[in-house]
Amino acid sequence: MNKIKKYVFQTIMLLVLTAGLWSCTNMDDGYKDFIKEGEVSYTGKIDSLHIYAGKNRVNVKGLIISDPKVTEVRVFWNTGKDSVVVPITRTSGVDVLDVIIDGLEENIYNFEVRTYDKLGNKSIPVFKIGNTYGERYEATLLAAIMNRKISTGISSGATLNGTLETLNDFTKKSSYSVITYTATDDTEKQLIIQSNLSNFTITDYKSGTDIKYKTAYKPEEGAIDIFFTPEKSFSTQTDVTNTYLVNADFETNPTGAALATMVYDVPGWIEIPVAGSTNDFQKLGTVLYGSVTAGLETAPKATATGGNALLGVKKHWGPADIYVEQVLSLPVGTYTMTWQSFMKLATSGASSMMGYEMDGLGIYDAFPSATETWKNHSLVFVVTTPKTVKIRMGYKKTANVGGGSSPILFMDNVRLLRAKL
């Protein structure tokens, strides 16, 4: 009986072993059919892959670090329908993939990059999203608000000083501005102004010529192409103060601190009332910043307005005018007149005569809105044919309100700028 059991057990084990061998043989045959010519060999994949955007193109960059067998890199897009092949000559170190792919429509692409060896063995894929930009993006730059405008451009001789406006927050991707100008040798030159700067100076500018400006944008960080807003022209202004005005900053022979009951001479200006007249109720003359005078009390302290002296006027009783003026013969042009003023005492019963008279009509800018504050003034006028223009600084007393409420007004730094008509 025991012999029969032993025989049966041995027979069963033999069948199991036979079945196992048969099974293993079939599995091995299937694996060989799958790999056919042996085990799969992969090349080393691309490392540090980057896709840099451009105008209807991209720049594909990456590193080949570990595999000396790599002979080419293939870049695929449009789900593998399009591709480029980049031959690679390996060195003993790290080699760089750096290829431009042109002719791409403006879109978002999913790029697939593989390395290959000379036997056609390839790496596992590396995928990266990349953008291209074109007409649709350029259309967003057509709005005037996207172009960083020139706010001032004032020349004196061959020197042009300019200022650019500040762009709104949503335009912070601006890279820089380009200023194109005509130089003194009649050549066209360009100046680059970085987006974090506002002021610029040109030292070889041909006076009276227009300048042009445009703003550069990078659609994203690392982009290989720059896009520009439409170029615009700007008419500069020439500082003609010294050409037509005398003692515009009131620095010539200031009266000093003794001003009392006199209308003093202000060199280069005509005084109204007449200089030299003595009157307890009117004071006019130039004084030093911070000086204490009998008629004008304490002059304002020196500030960024510059210089050492300024013009002061006061009239206790009225009505009457008190001012200085110059008569100018101006050629055709667009003029900007600027100056600063400081109101020491209240303005009751008076009106400004700070400005100009042309064709018998006086145009004046108002007093500062509060006392003890400086105001920057600006008036623009156009001369279409050569004519006489009067520049005035002072005020008209319109009521007999007494000395306690009479304005004490200080003025300084009259400037005249001219642009072409």
> β-pairing, 211-217 with 232-234?
antiparallel
Burial string for 387-416 (b: 16+ CB within 10 Å, else e) reads eebebbbbbbbeeebeeeebbbbbbbbbbb
- Region 309-324: mean pLDDT is 89
Choose the most confident range, by mean pLDDT, from 172-181, 223-232, 302-311, 401-410. 223-232
Q: What contacts 338, CB < 8 A, 6 or more positions away?
A: 376, 377, 378, 379, 413, 414, 415, 417
Please give the residue that has the higher pLDDT: either 318 or 251: 251
CA distance 225 to 213: 19
Around Cβ 76, how many Cβ atoms within 10 Å? 17
For 230-276, write each residue's pLDDT tens digit.
Answer: 999 999 999 999 999 999 999 999 886 556 667 889 999 999 998 87
Beta bridge partners of 201: 161
Give the range among 30-34, 165-169, 190-194, 214-218 with minimum mean pLDDT.
30-34
Q: What pLDDT score was predicted for residue 317? A: 77
Q: Cis (ω within 30 of 0) for the bond into 273?
A: yes
Report the alpha-carbon distance of residue 162 to residue 210 in Å, rounded.
13
Q: What is the pLDDT of residue 41?
A: 76
- Model confidence at 11, pLDDT cuts 50, 70, 90, reads very low
Residue 181 banded pLDDT, cuts 50, 70, 90 = very high
**Residue 290's closest CA among 277, 299, 281, 279?**
299
Place 320 in a pLDDT band, splitting at 50, 70 and 90.
Answer: confident
What Rg do the C-alpha atoms of the chain give, in angstroms?
41
| Pick from 87-101, 187-201, 266-280, 369-383: least confident | 266-280
How far apart CA 152 and CA 140 sit, in angstroms, is 26
Computed over every residue of the chain, the mean pLDDT equals 87
